[in-house]
Amino acid sequence: MPVIETHGLTKVYNPDKVPVHALNGVDLTIEKGEFTAIVGPSGSGKTTLLNIIGGLDTPTEGKTIIQQTELSSLSDRELVNFRLHHIGFVFQAYNLIPVLTAVENVSFVMQMQGRPSKECRKKSISLLKEVGLADKIDKRPTELSGGQQQRVAVARALASKPDFVLADEPTANLDSVSSADLLDLMLKLNEKEEMTFVFSTHDQRVIDRARRVVTLVDGKIDKDEVR
């Protein structure tokens, strides 16, 4: 059963002024356990597609179905709750909370889900160990390198036990060594835990590791290659 389905996704910005067609009828299905890269030139619609799949943006036309739930059928509050329990996010800018330690940043998502504090801390420590940060659990983001901050972000994305993780240019702010380490970690999680990853990326290193590469051109799927 697919974890993600999109049907006829169209997104037009500024429709009443100078319309910008970011997506032009995108049909995409992602199965559980995929490690998929969405690629294409700047302005091709990669980030827009990820944002709509993640419920952070709404399509002008078409629909997104996540685990048999159509996102447009949810109220704003239901959508926030759905994202919290079903979708993990890893962003280019890390988006960690500066005043919280690594373990507190990872715990935050689980606390929002209403899980007990002790359980949250125990699970957070376990996840930080899994991403290679056992000795950094009490460090704040400013005390961590870019690669380490992104590892915290990956642990946070996994903390909610999501159906899949959306990663928008996750290596863009990292050096080559940190990028390779992060991608190897994600690939390991994909293989070990069957965690589904969908990337938006320009990075050839991500593309090289992906098992499926979907190329967008002018808001449409130009190629869809399974390796």
**Which of 66, 25, 93 lies closest to 198 in space, CA to CA?**
66
Which CATH superfamily groups domain 2-226? P-loop containing nucleotide triphosphate hydrolases (3.40.50.300)
Percentage of the chain modeled with pLDDT above 70: 100
What pLDDT digit, counting tens, does each position of 51-88 carry? Answer: 999 999 999 999 999 989 999 999 999 999 999 999 99
Average pLDDT over residues 161-167: 95
Average pLDDT over residues 123-130: 95
Chain-centroid distance, C-alpha 58: 17
Report DSSP letters for 139-173, one per residue.
Answer: --GGGS-HHHHHHHHHHHHHHT--SEEEEESTTTT
Return phi, psi of residue 163, to 5°: -75, -30
Domain boundaries, the chain: 2-226
Token look-up 């889900």 returns: 113
Determine the pLDDT at residue 79. Answer: 96
Task: Grade residue 46 by pLDDT with cuts at 50, 70 and 90.
Answer: very high
Does the structure show a pLDDT above 90 at 2? yes
For residues 6 and 23, what is the distance between their CA atoms, to the nearest angstrom? 12
What pLDDT digit, counting tens, does each position of 24-40 carry? Answer: 999 999 999 999 999 99
* 3-class DSSP state of 211: coil
Number of helices followed by number of strands (H, E) in the chain: 7, 10
β-sheet with 87-90: strand ranges across: 87-90, 164-168, 197-200, 35-39, 212-217, 220-226
Task: Grade residue 16 by pLDDT with cuts at 50, 70 and 90.
Answer: confident
Extract the tokens encoding 154.
């990956």
CB-CB contact of 65 with 7 (8 Å)? yes
DSSP 136: G
Determine the pLDDT at residue 17. Answer: 84
Does the structure show a pLDDT above 90 at 15? no
Average pLDDT over residues 174-190: 92
For residues 49 and 19, what is the distance between their CA atoms, to the nearest angstrom? 17
What pLDDT digit, counting tens, does each position of 85-115 carry? Answer: 999 999 988 999 999 999 999 999 999 999 9
Does the structure show a pLDDT above 90 at 124? yes
In this structure, are strands 197-200 and 35-39 parallel, antiparallel, or unpaired?
Answer: parallel
In this structure, are strands 164-168 and 2-13 parallel, antiparallel, or unpaired?
Answer: unpaired
